[in-house]
Structures are given as structure tokens and as C-alpha cells.
Structure 1
Amino acid sequence: MTAFNPDDLVASFKAAGAWYNDAAMALTPFPNMGWGAVARQPIKAHTPLFHIPLDYLLTPWTSSLRTHLTEAEWESLDGGWARLILCMMWEESRADSKWGGYLRNMPREFDSPMFWGEADRAELKGTDIENRIGKADAEADYHAKLAPLLAARADLFPAGSEHFSLDAYHVQGSRILSRSFTIPISRAGGPVTEPEEDEDGDEDEEEEVAVMIPMADMLNAAFDRDNARLFADGEDDEEEEGEGEKHDFGEGFTMISTKDIGEGEQIYNTYAAPPNSELLRKYGHVDNLSLPEDVTALLLPEELGSWPFGNAGDEVEIPGTLVVEAAAARGISDAEARVDFWLDQGGDDTFGLTYSAEGNLEPPLVPFIRLLTNEDDWAKAQTKGKLPKSTVDAAVIDVLEAVVRARAAKYPQTIEADLAVAGGQGPLNARNAAAVRLGEKRILVSTLRVLEREKERLRGEEGKRKAGGKEERAAKRRK
């Protein structure tokens, strides 16, 4: 395996017509994060860091592979990432590819669960990743789409070549999963179609596709640390111009600092603050940062010493079926009709629990529970065609508590065992899996504590109503 060579990557980047700000940034390794970008000097906000022209994006339409395939062969690769993966295989197999320097400096080994053994993957049981690793689906796609074309076109894809093997397919797929960007298909060089209007007269948005953008994928990301962002040309003229030297880059994408960055600081790209489950699934690492007070507020004093780190963007997915099962235990009728109504109104079939000041007692989960459990709400929904409001009552609390406990029961390990693994010196995969479990369990534990608080509130209100009723009756007797 060829070791990563930053000088080779930058040289090939410039040779392809891209621009790189040598004075502002450099590539360097970071502990537990692999290679990334560092500021070589103080960088002002709105400073261009590098620019990639459109023809240096690696997409199915910029690769030369398409010119060697028939239309039928090209169409056989439609759907998913099959086209992009085969184009990356093809370009990496060619000695004269303009993406040669880019591809030979991309990783071939990953810490993501796709490459874990069965024992390590078992550590993800109960987590949101468990059924989303996708290895079996990827292999089925390879055998269904690529294998027939590879066999039929040995003139392009030599039999036995390591570049077109199933292992290579997994490598290229993992590169796309962890490093690709999604952009409008017209910017990727793909076919442009006339926009169609929907029922409301609004134009449909242009299709977006996954592409590889050299150098942009070298920047790491971490929760709430972003200080740079990739801009399309013309997207924000003021920011693209920067405060220093002016550049006329032409069409393409420019990485621009969005904040002042100190010398020696890492340059982080903007991202959508994914939970640790997604970070591990896509990138093979987790965030283990100090958590803000609004996240740790519901932890007990004895927990703060051992459970203060993680990812503030964590979440737990709750399947709608779990909610229906908990509601059905209360003896509801026609659950199927209620669920169909919910879905027809645009409701979700999966709900995300997060760190929330309301303790996840806000839309859309509460209206769904009320629709399932409250006969008045169900009757109004049928007559008026409206979903229930987010009013929390005893039935909502009971169902949500049952849902949270059922979701928590899916983990084989205890919280104490997770803490011991996450804070230990054991294998990396085991520690990362424990971090994912802990982040999800922290949300479930916090939600249960909020529910207990809500129970106390309802009991207090009920007590006041009863006391008020007694006083009113006593007053009437006195009168």
C-alpha cells in the first residue's frame, strides 16, 4: 500500500489546474483524526484556501469511462453509486489518469464497521448502526450491476485485476461514503433537464448526485468547530473574494475560511453535526468532546465524573412500529387506520430523540402518540383532517416511557460496562462502539428522567384540582 504523500497530492492538484493557497495552509496528521489541514499563518475570515475547477471533479460524466461504454452498458449502472464506483476503479487503473495523484493518496484501509469482523460488529447490537452497515447490500449491488459488465468487457476490465475486484468495490464505496460531496447534477457534468412544476406551481429542485472533490475531502470535521466551507462559484461573491489577494477562479468550488483561524489551528470543514453513530458508520471515528451543560444537566452528580464526554449531536432513532406496539398495549382499536392517516398527512415513520430542553416532549412524536391513544383526537382527525396538538398527558407519558424502555432493552451491555470499555485502553473498535452506545443511552436515560418530572407535574396539578374541588364543595356547604 502506498503511503500518503502530501507533496504528491498538492503537486497533482496544481497540475490539474486547481489553485492551492500554499501560504495559508498545509496538510499534516492529527491524533485520532488522520490527515487534515492546518493554518500555516493567521487566516482571516473569507480567505480562499483552494479552488477546484469543474473539470477536476471526479464524477461519472468527467471520467473518460463513459466514452468506452455503449448506452445500454452505461444505463445498466444507473442507480446508487455503481457508476461513480466503476469510474473511480477505472481511473485508478489508468497510469495517465489526471486523478492519479488524488486516487493513489486516498486511504485503502478504514476503521468503519464495513471492514470490521463479526465479533466487532456484534458490539453494535441495539445501536442505530446495527442494520445500516450495508456490506451485504453493497456486495449484492456489485454482483448484480458490475460483475456482468466486467465479464462482458474484458477489453476494458482485465480479468483478475485488483482494480475491479469486490474488495476494490468496497474500498471505493467507502471512499465515497466518507469523502464525497453532493452537488447539483448539472455541476457534475450530468444531463440537465427542464424543471417541472409540482401541484403548487413550484419548480422541482434539480437532482443532486454524489461526486468526489479533490482536496476538499482532506479537511476534517468536528461538532461545532467548523471554520471553513466549500462554496460554489457565485454562491456568495463577498465571501469568495476574501479580504486579501483577489483571484478570478472561474467555474468550480472554492474552500473559504468562515472565521478567523489562528496559526497552528486545524481547519475544519462545515458539516451537519452528525451523531457518533453516523460518524462511525461513515468515517470510522467518533467525537469524544466535553459536553455542554444543557446535555449534562439531567445527569446525576455521580455520573458527571464518568460520563461528561461524547457528541452533543447524538440522537436515537425510534421506529414508528415501536410506538404503535406500545400504544397497542393500551388496547387501542384500528391502529392501522390511524397510522395510515398519519402517513397520508406527511408524518414520519421514524422519530429521532435528541438532547432537548423539552426532553423530547415536542413534535412530531407527541401528536403521533395522541393520534394512537386519544379517541377524541382520532375523531377530530377524521372529521377535520388535522393532526392532534402536542399536549402532553398521562397517556402520552405512559406510551413514551414504554417506548424508551423498549428501545433501551435492545442493548446487551449495561451502562457501567460501556463506561469501562469507553474509558479503557482496549481495541479501538470496541471503544468506538461503546461511545456510540453511551451517547444513545444518555439520551434515553435523560428522556426517562424528564418523563418522571412530567409525571410529578401532572400529579401536582391533579392534587391542586382535587384540593380546589374540596374547597369549592366546602364553601357551598357553608353557604
Structure 2
Amino acid sequence: MSLAPIPNMGWGAVARKPIKAHTPLFHIPLDYLLTPWTSSLKAHLSDAEWESLDGGWARLILCMMWEESRESKWGGYLRNMPRTFDSPMFWGDADQAELRGTDIETRIGKADAEADYHAKLAPLLAARTDLFPAGSEHFSLDAYHVQGSRILSRSFTIPISRAGGPITEPEEDEDGDEDEEEEVAVMVPMADMLNAAYERDNARLFAEGEEEEEDVEVEEKHDFGEGFTMISTKDIAEGEQIYNTYASPPNSELLRKYGHVDILPLPEEVTSLLSAEELGNWAFGNAGDEVEIPGTLVVEAATARGITDAEARVDFWLDQGGDDTFGLTYSADGNLEPPLVPFIRLLTNADDWERAQKKGKLPKSAVDGAVLDVLEAVVRARAAKYPQTIEADLAVVAADGPLNARNAAVVRLGEKRILAATLRVVERERERLRSEEGKRKAGGKEDRAAKRRK
């Protein structure tokens, strides 16, 4: 493999020859990982100073600032990373306004990051100018944003013990099960050069021994020792890009984290859910797109139907481990799958609510008229948050104008199409219920007529 510039994706990894599935590509020893515990910064701080950085990414960010400012083994690695990004964190106000209504709007995080910098880093930087020279560009607010964006787009999450952090005895929960070990974000040189894209993943980072646990037959056996090994998961052709996408992220996440979106031909199972107006002349996008539905929207729609004890029902739902946010995706069966349907039934169906209280179980995913009414109200309320129309979004992507405006339009369009498709399936479900009701009534009339004849 080699590293090469990829159009609209920065740099990435490319196969220089055909690679078979289950081939080790490279290995990173644990002490090559850049973590708060492998960095030398901890040795220069008091326990109190170190603990003041606890929580979030502040500790890792300061370690990255520190290592980049010095001639350390990570210095060159960090100095060769990008300093500019196309992610919304670095957009101006006008461009960020194009994300109104999308799932990204409240998740850009710039204000939260700046508050974290002033609350955690600024006091320590001012107190320890022997370590952090006043006025140094390495420890500025801008540098904080850059390092945070590097973590967002390139970090891996691993168990804290593998990151060199403190190992604690696992505690048991109420059911007697041991809590999973805490996981932390770390930087893994070389592994972070592989790009991400929807359903293109052909390599994955394995911890030592993990491939054996998951029955991955590695082509060549190597005793790499402790660390992480990138292993191909599919055959990769010569010249093909190597992706480490252990997921299928929607465009909203791709744009928020990496500053790009996937624009691929949509499969027939997606286009069949859309109208000619929603497709326009642009049958492209990301089949893995989704729209988040806040639970508050569902509660508002249920309350509008006269539900007066919604708070108690919501508390029960959360106590049973239910989510407070629900995802809608492209789905031929109508996006009407758990857990959204049971939540609506719990809020709207008196029998389900009574049964849930008695048996301590959540309702099943059976769709009825009340569920469809609430779902339609929820989808329309969610769609109303976008200032632009689908037609306007299609015009922006067709014009191929400024990158930020076009990427924002691609995200909006994907979300709006999902909402439109969901409304269409809601109507289809209504037709199905009406048809079944008609058959039941017809069957009842036939039974009564048979009895009269008898």
C-alpha cells in the first residue's frame, strides 16, 4: 500500500498490488499510540494539575499540543497532519446557517469546545508558562480546535488499559454482570490515514488476538506482539483505496467528522421509495443516511392527542432502557420498526400502558391508526425545521457551487428524502389497515348471512 491524495477526501491509503482478504497490512505497537499516558506531559504535571484535565478530550488535546511543540517521536507525525479542515467546525456563520434543521446543527460543538478550553486549559497554561510559553501558537485556542478536529476525524476508541491508563477492578451492576472497561480516544499513527465511506470498508484495526476471537483467518501468521494490526477484510484490487470504516456513516456524520459527504448512485430499493419530485435529476446520495427524531417531538405529538400522563410513561420507558432519540432510515418496510413504534404505543395506547405497568414489559411493534397519526405528526414537525425546500436543495447540488453550500445541501436532501419516504410508507400502512378492516367487515356480513340462511 502507499499513501496518496484522494479527490475530495484529502490523503488516503491505496493498494499497490492485489491484496487478499485477511492480509495483515501493518502493525502498530502499543507504545506508538499517542495517548495521555504514553505522552511525556503527565510526568511534568502535579496530580492536581493532571486531574484538572479529566473528562472529555481536554487531556488528550493538551498532550497533542505538547508533543507537537517538541522534538518527540510524535512531533513529526503531528506536524504533518492537516491544519485546515472542511468540517462545519471551521465554517463561517453564513455557511453554518445552511445546516439549520439538520442533525448536525446542534452538534458542531464549537462553543462547547471553546468553553472547555477556557475552563480547563487556559488556567493551567497561565500557571505553567515554564511548560507552555505564553503566546505560543501551539497552545492557542485555534490550536485547540485543530487538535480536537484531528481527534474527531482520526482517533480510535480503545479500552483504557490498552492506552496505558489506570486499570480498575470491574464492578458488577444490579444484574450481577461486570461493567465493561472504560474506553478512551487515542491517536493511532498510520491507521488514521485510512479514509471512511459508506459500505466501502475493506480493512479493520484488530487488537492482538482479537482476529482469532472473531474467527478471522489471517493469511500469514505473525507474532507482532502487543498492539494493533490493520487487516484487510475483503479482497482489494490494485489501485483501490483501502477504507477502515467499521460502520456505514450517514452524510451528516461524514460531514461533521471528516468534512466530506458520500455521493453515490442510490440503489433501487431507495429510489423506489421516492417520488419524481424528490429524486429530480439527481438520484445520488448516501443510502446509509438517517434522520434523528428527538423523543420530545414524539411526546408533543402524543400530548396533542389528549395524553395527560406522558411524563410517567416516558419515565417508565427510560427506566426500561429505552432511547430518548430515534433514527429513521431508508427502509422498504417503512422505518416503522422498534424502538419508535413501541414508544408511541406506550404513549397512546391505554391497554399497552396498563399492561406495561403490571408486567414490566414494553409494548410490541404492532402498527395501528394511533401510531400512524402520531408518526405522521412527528415527521411533519421534523421536516418543518428546514428553511429550504427539496427543490431548492436539488438546485444547489446541480449547480455544483461552493463546496460548503453543496455539502450542506446534500445532507439536507438526504434527510428530507427519508422524511418524505416515511410519510409515503405511513400512508401505505394506512391503506393496509383499511383493507384489513374492510375484509373483517365483509367477513362479518357473510357470517351473518350464513346464519340467516341456516
2:56 & 2:335 partners in 1: Cα distance?
34
Q: 2:278·2:417 contact (CA, 8 Å) conserved in 1?
A: no
1:467 aligns with 2:437: no
Among candidates 416, 433, 441, match of residue 391 of structure 2: 416
Deviations 1:143-169 (A, max 9, x none): 000000000000000000000000000
Q: Percent identity?
A: 87
1:233 & 1:281 partners in 2: Cα distance?
31
Q: 1:49·1:254 contact (CA, 8 Å) conserved in 2?
A: yes
Give how far 1:471 is off.
3.2
2:292 & 2:330 partners in 1: Cα distance?
13
Mark the CA change 1:248 to 1:466 in structure 2 (over 3 Å): closer, same or farther: closer
Give how far 1:348 is off.
1.0
1:334 aligns with 2:337: no
Alignment match, 2:293: 318
Amino acid at match of 1:377: D
Amino acid at match of 1:100: G
Alignment match, 1:5: none
Q: 2:294·2:326 contact (CA, 8 Å) conserved in 1?
A: yes
Alignment match, 1:29: 5
Deviations 1:205-241 (A, max 9, x none): 1111000000101011211111111111121249888
Q: 2:198·2:250 contact (CA, 8 Å) conserved in 1?
A: no
SS of 1:148's partner is: helix
Alignment match, 1:57: 33
2:104 & 2:275 partners in 1: Cα distance?
28
Mark the CA change 1:405 to 1:241 in structure 2 (over 3 Å): closer, same or farther: closer
Amino acid at match of 1:157: F
Among candidates 38, 48, 73, match of residue 49 of structure 2: 73
Q: 2:24·2:232 contact (CA, 8 Å) conserved in 1?
A: yes
Give how far 1:186 is off.
0.8
1:395 aligns with 2:370: yes
Deviations 1:133-189 (A, max 9, x none): 110000000000000000000000000000000000000000000100000111111
Mark the CA change 1:242 to 1:387 in structure 2 (over 3 Å): closer, same or farther: closer
Q: Normalization by structure 1: what TM-score?
A: 0.91
1:260 & 1:119 partners in 2: Cα distance?
44
Give how far 1:477 is off.
4.1
2:357 & 2:222 partners in 1: Cα distance?
61
Amino acid at match of 1:416: E
1:242 & 1:377 partners in 2: Cα distance?
50
Alignment match, 1:299: 274
Alignment match, 2:20: 44
Amino acid at match of 1:204: D
1:231 aligns with 2:199: no
* Unaligned runs of at least 5 residues, structure 1: 1-24
1:243 & 1:290 partners in 2: Cα distance?
34
Q: 2:53·2:120 contact (CA, 8 Å) conserved in 1?
A: yes
Q: How does 1:44-443 map to 2 (within 5 A)?
A: 44-94=20-70, 96-237=71-212, 242-244=218-220, 247-301=222-276, 303-304=278-279, 306-443=281-418
Give how far 1:304 is off.
4.5
SS of 2:205's partner is: strand
Q: 2:199·2:247 contact (CA, 8 Å) conserved in 1?
A: no
Q: 1:229·1:256 contact (CA, 8 Å) conserved in 2?
A: yes
Q: 1:231·1:240 contact (CA, 8 Å) conserved in 2?
A: no
Deviations 1:340-384 (A, max 9, x none): 111111111111111123212121111111111111111222222
2:298 & 2:400 partners in 1: Cα distance?
38
Give how far 1:112 is off.
0.5
2:216 & 2:26 partners in 1: Cα distance?
11
Q: 1:180·1:211 contact (CA, 8 Å) conserved in 2?
A: yes
Deviations 1:111-150 (A, max 9, x none): 1110001100000000011101110000000000000000
Number of residues of Structure 1 aligned to a counterpart in Structure 2: 453
2:176 & 2:360 partners in 1: Cα distance?
23
SS of 1:423's partner is: helix
For structure 1, which segment, 464-473 or 192-201, has the greater mean C-alpha deviation from structure 2 after superposition?
Answer: 464-473
2:90 & 2:166 partners in 1: Cα distance?
35
Q: 1:240·1:254 contact (CA, 8 Å) conserved in 2?
A: no
SS of 2:343's partner is: helix
Alignment match, 1:12: none
Q: 1:241·1:247 contact (CA, 8 Å) conserved in 2?
A: no
SS of 2:82's partner is: coil
For structure 1, which segment, 396-405 or 332-341, has the greater mean C-alpha deviation from structure 2 after superposition?
Answer: 332-341
2:110 & 2:394 partners in 1: Cα distance?
29
SS of 1:124's partner is: coil
SS of 2:98's partner is: helix
Q: 2:277·2:391 contact (CA, 8 Å) conserved in 1?
A: no
Give how far 1:474 is off.
3.6
1:253 & 1:419 partners in 2: Cα distance?
43
Q: Normalization by structure 2: what TM-score?
A: 0.96
Mark the CA change 1:361 to 1:164 in structure 2 (over 3 Å): closer, same or farther: same
Q: 1:48·1:240 contact (CA, 8 Å) conserved in 2?
A: no
Amino acid at match of 2:205: L
* Unaligned runs of at least 5 residues, structure 2: none
Mark the CA change 1:161 to 1:240 in structure 2 (over 3 Å): closer, same or farther: farther
1:329 & 1:34 partners in 2: Cα distance?
49
Amino acid at match of 1:88: M
Deviations 1:96-121 (A, max 9, x none): 21012211110100011100011000
Q: 1:315·1:353 contact (CA, 8 Å) conserved in 2?
A: yes
Amino acid at match of 1:62: T
**TM-align CA RMSD:** 1.6
For structure 1, which segment, 406-415 or 348-357, has the greater mean C-alpha deviation from structure 2 after superposition?
Answer: 348-357
